[in-house]
Chain A
Amino acid sequence: MNKLIKLIEQEFEELEKGIIFPNTNLSDVLNLDSMSILVLIICIEDEYGVVLQDDEIKQSRTFEDLNNLIIQKTIVN
């Protein structure tokens, strides 16, 4: 979980550090516009080797949900 939070803080330079927790709502922090989703797809693929779909990201309510999705996809791969 910490790895994902660190990755997002690093990729989204404009974000204030320390505001993301596992139960934080994704859309509260990232706005989930097309640019944010694109950055998420690319940085997650680079770090974890899995390609997420934009609707999968939008369905993840919290950062923990997103982390679980990545774990699930990594196991399938």
Chain B
Amino acid sequence: MICSIVSCVPKNAFNLDDYNQIKSDDLEKTKLFTGVLSKRTSNGEFSTLHLCINAMKKILPLNDLSNKDVEIVAFVTQSPNHSVPGNSYSVHKEMSLSKTCILIDLNIGCTGWIQGVFIVKSIMQQHNLKYGILLNGDTDVLTDINDNSTYPIIGDAGVASLIVNNKDQDVNEVFNFSYNGNYSDAIIEKKDTNNSRLLKVKMNSSLIAKYLLTEVIPFSKEFLRKNNANPDFFIPHQANKYFVDTLSKKLDIPKEKTLISYPHYGNTSSASIPLTICANNQVEKNKLFYCLAFGVGMSTAQMLFYPNKDMKTKLIEI
């Protein structure tokens, strides 16, 4: 089960009011639509790896664990420091992990936290491992500063989640996944307009909207119905205000049960759900949490779980 989450963001905030790549009318429209007032950016000073290692350095002592206790590390990112080797090897070196610690690198976007929890938990159960660390993060290096549909809203964050294999609580999380490769063009890397060697992520908003309406919403309604679930808290992927409000409305979940972090952190890809849990640290745990993410692929991932009342969460800045 997920026992602890530590999120790490850069101190440096980028206020949307300072975004001068577009006309002021368009900026107001962007703010109204996305609900993002500011995001965190490291301006290239910190990488995803750096943010995640800082989160991991905090989560282990917070839970009275040493580096050698960790038996599996999965690193989920689409902005690794290097394609070869994967970020998990840098984590292994930096954290002096055990030589038998399993290392996995996963290229997954916004659904990466839920998919990561599922993958790590499944391996841990299969191989009887006790402690696992899931790292999720991305930075805005993937975005083009002139693209107002990505740059002003994609924020930097790195998250470490501690997963503990408790045999008596192994059914604590219920998962559901759905994929449709026909939407692969909806969020895709394309060559940067200014530098043909650089790749930047482009979003086709109307394709994403179509996927949301025709697949995400029906899947989520079915998932909640099948599990007879009436969540106490809804934690959607923080894509933007319009999508979050649409999901709450369509799923008939009141706004006061919907946790958000986008106004001050933007869309932080696979880190957005755990970061939102950390940013809403005051909400009562031991309640039914419903996490719903959709994104690159396109893919949809859902998870229902009861966080332990002692689940330790923390949001740190560097």
Interface residues of A (CB under 8 A from B): 13-14, 33-35, 37-39, 41-42, 45-46, 51, 53-54, 57
Contacts of A13 in B (CB 8 A): 32
**Interface size range of chain B in the complex:** 20 to 34
Nearest chain A residue, comparing its CB with the CB of B212: A42
Q: Which residues of B contact A (CB under 8 A)?
A: 25-26, 28-30, 32-33, 149, 203-210, 212-214, 242, 246, 249-250
The reply to whether B205 and A35 contact each other, CB–CB distance below 8 Å, is: yes
User: How far apart are B242's CB and chain A's nearest CB, in angstroms?
Assistant: 7
Closest residue on chain B to residue A13 by CB atoms: B32
A51 touches B206 (CB 8 A): no
A42 and B246 contacting across the interface, CB-CB below 8 Å = yes
Best-surrounded residue of A38, A41, A42, A46 (most CB of chain B within 10 A): A38
Q: How far is the CB of B179 from chain A (nearest CB, A)?
A: 20
Q: How far is the CA of A53 from the CA of B211 in the complex (A)?
A: 11
Asked if B213 contacts A34 (CB within 8 A), the reply is no
Residues of chain A with a CB closer than 8 A to B214's CB: 51
| Given A51-B214, A53-B206, CB of A38 within 8 Å of CB of B242 | yes
Bound: A37/B204 CA distance, A:
10
Q: Are B206 and A54 in contact (CB under 8 A)?
A: yes
Contact of A38 among B25, B30, B205, B249 (CB under 8 A): B205
Q: What residues on B are CB-neighbors of A53 within 8 Å?
A: 206, 210
- Which of chain B's residues has its CB closest to A35's CB? B33
* C-alpha gap A41/B206 in the complex (Å): 7
Contact B204 A34 (CB under 8 A): yes
Classify the interface of chain B: helix, strand, loop or mixed. Answer: helix
Q: Which residues of A contact B213 (CB under 8 A)?
A: 41-42, 45, 51
Is the pair A34, B206 in contact by a Cβ cutoff of 8 Å?
A: yes
Counted as pairs of residues, one from A and one from B, with CB atoms less than 8 Å apart, the total is: 47
Q: Which residues of B lie under 8 Å from residue A41 when comparing CB positions?
A: 206, 209-210, 213
Measured in the bound complex, the distance between the Cα atoms of B212 and A47 in whole Å is 16
Pick from A14, A33, A57: contact of B32, CB below 8 A: A14
CB distance from B318 to the nearest CB of A (A): 32
Q: B236 → chain A, closest Cβ, in Å?
A: 15
9 more CB-based (< 8 A) A-B contacts, given A35-B149, A38-B209: A34-B149, A35-B33, A37-B209, A38-B242, A41-B210, A41-B213, A54-B206, A54-B207, A57-B206
The CA-CA distance from A26 to B206 in the complex, in Å, is: 17
A37-B242 in contact (CB<8A): no
Q: Which chain B residues border A14 with CB–CB below 8 Å?
A: 25, 28-29, 32
Whether B210 contacts A34 by the Cβ 8 Å rule is no
Chain B contacts of A38 at CB under 8 A? 205-206, 208-209, 242
| Beta-carbon nearest neighbor of A34 in chain B | B205
Q: Which residues of A contact B149 (CB under 8 A)?
A: 34-35
> What residues of chain B lie closer than 8 Å to A35, measured between beta carbons?
29-30, 33, 149, 205
Q: How near does chain A come to B245, taking the closest CB pair, in angstroms?
A: 10
A14 to B23, CA, bound (A): 15
A39 to B241, CA, bound (A): 11
Q: Which residues of A contact B246 (CB under 8 A)?
A: 42, 46
Pair A39/B210 contact, Cβ less than 8 Å: no
- A62–B1 Cα distance when bound, in Å, is 54
Contact of A39 among B203, B208, B242 (CB under 8 A): B242
- Contact of A37 with B205 in the complex, beta carbons under 8 Å: yes
Chain A hits for B30, CB < 8 A: 35
How distant is the Cα of A53 from the Cα of B26 in the complex, in angstroms?
A: 23
Docked Cα-Cα span, A39 to B72, in Å, equals: 42
Can you report 7 residue pairs joining A to B where beta carbons are below 8 Å apart? A13-B32, A14-B28, A33-B26, A34-B203, A34-B206, A35-B29, A51-B210
Q: Could you tell me the distance between the alpha carbons of A33 and B214 in the complex, rounded to whole angstroms?
A: 22
